Amino acid sequence: MGKTPVGFATHPACLAHVAGPAHPERPARLEAILARLDGEGLRKRMVELVPRPATEADLALCHTTAHIARVREACAGSLPLAPDTGTSPASWEAALRAAGAGLVAAEAIAAGKVTRAFCAVRPPGHHAGPSSAGGFCLFNNLAIAARHLQRRLGIKRVAIVDFDCHHGNGTQEIFRADGGVLACSIHQFGPNPLNPAVPFYPGSGAADETGEGAGAGRIVNAPVPSGAGLAEFEEAILERFTPVIESFDPGIILVAAGFDGHRDDPLALLELSTEDYGLITRQIVGIADRVCQGRVLSMLEGGYHLSALAASAAAHVTALLE
């Protein structure tokens, strides 16, 4: 065990979700991560947390009843929820366990059983909004965990740091008017060099998108152009995110851990290395150590080059364990 107990949540059901033939969000992603964590002896250093299936009441913390029903029906019929977001009969259980992983990790941290946790689950979540799926995401796992912490576990202020290369548009939509959640995101933004006629997916996340109502100023976007790397990520985390997180004084930091900003990833054009993910994680943990007793809950999002994904996730976990 490392200096601080770190929880780890995954579930075999998450391997059974199939989004479509030759789909980049495939079971091999999670298989590669688990093999790497086992191979480096990292998993045995963590406290195993068993995800329960999220209930409809859990899902309704962030999603409409109509959306929940639509996802269930789509999975039952192997129907797509969006052009890029397919389902299979096993997808429903996978989605419930993925959301449930965040719930049990939140509970373990709130109860002091662990200080940090990493949830290696799929399908991912940060593109799912209150009434929409997309970007390979069915339900917003991290957002559900955040609301669980707020409304049931007594942690009223939650900060989110999303370093997936794609903007977490669903997370922003869910929390844009919520003064109790600070959502910080660094992501590739602007024209897509591979198809200049369309913006890089999902097209949201401009710096002037800052929240509204009670959530005004609680959305902090740090868009970066294609080709950006560690320097831009460090500037965003250390100069843009750190002051607002420290001022916000959250009880926990949640991390949307997407590893598709790796220079080898086929779905983005950023230049992060495996080692950079370890450094970025250490910077986030450093903020948590100062403001919220080191409490960090991380959930897997993107990453589509198998070896780069597995190595980056291992670097992330290593930093959580330090």
At 248, list the tokens: 């916000």
Residue where the block lists tokens 């902090």: 220
Tell me if 137 sits within 8 A of 76, measured CB to CB. Answer: no
- 236-267 residues labelled b (16+ CB within 10 A) or e (exposed): bbeebbbeebeebebbbbbbbbbbbbbbbbeb
Distance of alpha carbon 213 from alpha carbon 302, whole angstroms? 30
Quick check: is 82 in a domain?
A: yes
Structurally, the chain folds into a number of domains equal to 1
The CATH number of whichever domain residue 219 belongs to comes to 3.40.800.20
- Alpha carbon distances (Å) from 308 to 6, 112, 275, 304, 315: 23, 32, 11, 8, 10
At 247, list the tokens: 């001022």
Residue where the block lists tokens 């401009």: 206
Tell me if 285 sits within 8 A of 320, measured CB to CB. Answer: yes
Give the range of the structural domain holding residue 180, as residue numbers without chain letter: 6-321
Quick check: is 1 in a domain?
A: no
Render each residue's pLDDT in the chain as its tens digit; 322 residues.
Answer: 346 699 999 999 999 999 999 999 999 999 999 999 999 999 999 999 999 999 999 999 999 999 999 999 999 999 999 999 999 999 999 999 999 999 999 999 999 999 999 999 999 999 999 999 999 999 999 999 999 999 999 999 999 999 999 999 999 999 999 999 999 999 999 998 888 888 999 999 999 999 999 999 999 999 999 999 999 999 999 999 999 999 999 999 999 999 999 999 999 999 999 999 999 999 999 999 999 999 999 999 999 999 999 999 999 999 999 9
Quick check: is 151 in a domain?
A: yes
Quick check: is 227 in a domain?
A: yes
Quick check: is 169 in a domain?
A: yes
Which amino acids are annotated catalytic? 127
Quick check: is 71 in a domain?
A: yes
Hey, is 151 helix, strand or coil?
helix
Sign of CA dihedral 248, 251, 256, 259: positive
Q: What is the dihedral of CA 151, 157, 163, 167, to 10 degrees?
A: 70
Q: Global pTM?
A: 0.97
